[in-house]
Every structure is written in C-alpha cells, then in structure tokens.
Amino acid sequence: MIQTNQTLSIDVGGYTAHPIPTGIFGLDGGAMFGTVPKVLWQKTNPADELNRIPMEARALLLISKDQKILIDTGNGADFQEKYGEAAGKKFQEIYSIDENGPTLLKSLNKYNLTADDITDVILTHFHFDHAGGATKFDNGKIVPTFKNATYYVQGSNLKNALNPNKREKASYLKANIEPLIEAKKLVILDSNRHPHLKNISFHISHGHTEGHQSVQIADDDTQLIYCGDLIPTSTHVRSSWVMGYDLHPGQLMEEKKQILQISQNKKTYYFFEHDPYCDMATVIPDKDEFKVEERYWMK
Ligand SMILES: [Zn+2]
C-alpha cells in the first residue's frame, strides 16, 4: 500500500518504509551526467551560476515491530568540527549545503524518533554524501550518531574507503569511517545478506565504487530497491546516463541493467537517493533498456 498524502509510506517485507530527506546540496551538473550534453540534462535539472544542480541526500527508514533500520545518512553536520575548520568551511561552500531545510534528525523526529531509537544503519558505501550523517561531533570527539545502532557496510568498500585512490580521495573522509570502527559498531559484510536484516538483501556492484551495495527489501508481491549511487536519480534509469564520478562507467551500465531487470519478477519500486524531484519510481521495458513508468513523491 502506498500513501502519498503528507508522508509517503510503503509496506514491504514486514516493514513500513518512509523517505527521510536529509537536506539539499549542490553537485556539478556535468559530473552528475557524465557524457550527456548539458543541452539535454539542463531541461530536467537546471543548474545554478556555478553549474551546480540541486541534489537530495535521501535516506530510507524501515520500521518493524523490533527494528528501526536506516539506509544511508546523508551529508551530516558539524563539518568544521569533523573535517577541520578551513576544510569544513570549504566543504560547505563547494557543495552548497543547505542547513535550513530538513535534516536527518528533523526528518526522523517527524516519525517521533530520535537518533537513539535507530537499531541498524545500512551504508551503501562510505562516500561523504551517504555516510556523513553516520558520525557526529560530541563533547570534543567524533562518535557514531546512532549510539544504539549496528552499522553495516561491505568489506570491499571499507578497504577501498580507508585507502582511496586519488580520484576518490575527496569523497572518502576518515571522520565518517574510523569512529564507527573504534566504537566497534561496524559489521563488515562479505555476502549479500545478514541474519539480523530479515527480507533484506544486497546487490553488490563495483562500477560506481568498489563494494557499493544497493538494498533490496522484498516480500512475495512487492519489492523496494534503494539504489544508492547505482541509479542516483530517476533520470539515470536510462542506460547511458551515467555519472562522471563513476569509476567504471561500462561496468556500471551492465550492473544497472541487471538491477532494472528485477522489475520483471514482481511489483518493484526503485528508490532514488539523490533525485530532488521524486522519491521513487516504477520502470517498464523500452526497446533494449528501461524507462520510468510512474514517479512518486511525498511533497
Ligand atoms: Zn558515491
């Protein structure tokens, strides 16, 4: 069942799922659409004077009787305390972080939840716009934001995040990673399931970055796929719309096709972390690829 009044929710796999907007930020439009020319992408994603387009950093909350699971955590806050004063300021400027709109904790409050209520945090990968909210600055040190939660990430992503190559260095920031390890809160996965996460499985891919996991929540009739950076917005459903940020674009196109093919098995909603204009969409086959069928948005 989907409700699209005030708050969007969808019941799937024994959970009620809610989008958790964590704040709009800006990314270079060219980088978001790779080889697609601006004349095409600016129609749907108008850019500011610095060529940045608005991006959401949308987490997903899954509520069951026993668990409150969060998937990804947005950019976070406390940038100057976490990344250093000068670097933090520069970070906020470059990425045009809007701190006046919804934040991770404000969006959780809408469901009468605080950070301490979260039992599990699944991270698609450690890039700062997904894992920035995983830690916070508190009493002079950086600690896990969700102190009662177990965090999950793929081992191959953790390994890459701790020793990033030059191209990815600016995206993997130690302040978002090391405090989770120090607090012994991080479960390092090497498979596509975990016994604590019922009806949840992972699609592990390496085209965007090493060890990225998209999250599938499924029951007999319906499935919801939290795409992460494999398909960051509904516009990226088209096979050749691939980000300049992706490490291996050709591989990503193949991985994207595989995850879109799952829609042929049962009713499938693709949830988009970065789409500023919708939360999720259904897709249909179109010649030798897929296109958006219907978009859903809580606003
Ligand atoms: Zn990423």
Task: Give the type of residue at 250.
Answer: G
Q: Residue 129 to residues 13, 140, 152, 176, 289: CA-CA distances in angstroms?
A: 27, 23, 16, 10, 28
What confidence score (pLDDT) does residue 98 get? Answer: 80
Ligand 1 center–CA 65 separation, angstroms: 31
The span from the CA of 153 to the CA of 230, in Å, is: 15
Ligand 1 center–CA 128 separation, angstroms: 8
Residue 205, token pair as written in the block: 């891919």
User: Among candidates 297, 286, 236, 246, which has minimal Cα distance to 31?
Assistant: 246
What confidence score (pLDDT) does residue 163 get? Answer: 95
Residue 63 DSSP symbol: E
Residue 224 DSSP symbol: E
Ligand 1 center–CA 209 separation, angstroms: 7
* Reported pTM: 0.95
What confidence score (pLDDT) does residue 3 get? Answer: 47
Ligand 1 center–CA 69 separation, angstroms: 20
Ligand 1 center–CA 127 separation, angstroms: 5
In contact, 189 and 235? CB cutoff 8 Å: no
The span from the CA of 147 to the CA of 115, in Å, is: 8
* Domains of the chain and any CATH numbers: 12-296 (3.60.15.10)
Ligand 1 center–CA 249 separation, angstroms: 13
Ligand 1 center–CA 139 separation, angstroms: 29
Ligand 1 center–CA 129 separation, angstroms: 7
Ligand 1 center–CA 258 separation, angstroms: 19
Ligand 1 center–CA 208 separation, angstroms: 7
Ligand 1 center–CA 223 separation, angstroms: 23
Per-residue pLDDT tens digits of the chain, which is 299 residues long: 454 445 678 999 999 999 999 999 999 999 999 999 999 999 989 999 999 999 999 999 999 999 999 999 999 999 999 999 999 999 999 999 887 888 999 999 999 999 999 999 999 999 999 999 999 999 999 999 999 999 999 999 999 999 999 989 999 999 999 999 999 999 999 999 999 999 999 999 999 999 999 999 999 999 999 999 999 999 999 999 999 999 999 999 999 999 999 999 899 999 999 999 999 999 999 999 999 999 998 65
Ligand 1 center–CA 229 separation, angstroms: 5
Pairing of strands 120-122, 68-71: parallel
Ligand 1 center–CA 290 separation, angstroms: 22
The span from the CA of 145 to the CA of 128, in Å, is: 14
The helix/strand/coil state of 119 is: coil
